[in-house]
Amino acid sequence: MTLATRHPWLMLSMLVVPLLTLASPAWLRIAGVPPAWAPLWLLPWALVDGQRSGIVAGVCLGLLLDSLHPGPVSAIPALLLLGWWWGRIGHLGPPIERSLNLALLAMLGTLGLDLSLMAQWAWRSWSGLRGLEEATAARLALPGWHGSDLAAAGLQVLLSQLLLAAVLAPVLCSLLLLLLRRLQAASWRG
């Protein structure tokens, strides 16, 4: 029995991620880039609840995030794999308790999510801009929108989100991990 079946309101906590994505405070941004909230929520959930729940939570979270930014790329593949991997780590290895370990896992998750999105954008652009509107393709052909400019912007987003994950994960993931483990222990006792 998983946390989601014993405490269904915990799945509603997933709705905080799109809300934070939309209303990310300016003081939490680096160079205008907000944190990647999805790996920060998914990491403790998958560590405590396991592979299956991590996969389901990753897919649901990916669907929520994709509904905010409709387009040709999706966060679902990366979040699905992260949910599976973190769930596997949580159940097969010793319990992860150190803040540095959580920060490293959150950084790896953020890196995986961002690289997945970059790879999807690169694949879409190499496949001849199929699926993109003509106006978008025309805007990309304007001076200043070269591949090197887009790569530099992607690198800035990646580095900013990695730094934010390293700073926020020890606090947020530790608190969520503690809460979820207490709820899990309380539900097994009673």
Bridge-partner residues for 33, per DSSP? 30
Please classify residue 152 by burial: count the beta carbons closer than 10 Å to its beta carbon, then call 0-12 exposed, 13-18 middle and 19+ buried. exposed
Please classify residue 174 by burial: count the beta carbons closer than 10 Å to its beta carbon, then call 0-12 exposed, 13-18 middle and 19+ buried. middle
Whether the model pTM is above 0.85:
no
The CATH code of domain 3-189 reads 1.10.1760
Tell me the pLDDT of the chain (190 aa) as tens digits. 566 566 666 777 888 888 888 888 888 899 889 999 999 999 999 999 889 989 999 999 999 999 988 778 899 999 999 999 999 998 887 888 788 999 999 999 999 999 998 888 878 766 655 555 555 555 555 444 455 655 667 788 899 999 999 999 999 999 999 888 888 887 666 5
Residues whose CB falls within 8 Å of the CB of residue 50, separated by 6 or more in sequence, listed in order: 2, 87, 90, 91
Cβ(145)–Cβ(139) below 8 Å: yes
Question: Domains of the chain: which residue ranges?
Answer: 3-189
For residues 37 and 42, give the distance between their C-alpha atoms in angstroms, rounded to a whole number.
9
Instruction: Quickly list DSSP for 85-137.
Output: HHHHHHHHSPPP--HHHHHHHHHHHHHHHHHHHHHHHHHHHHTTSTTS-HHHH
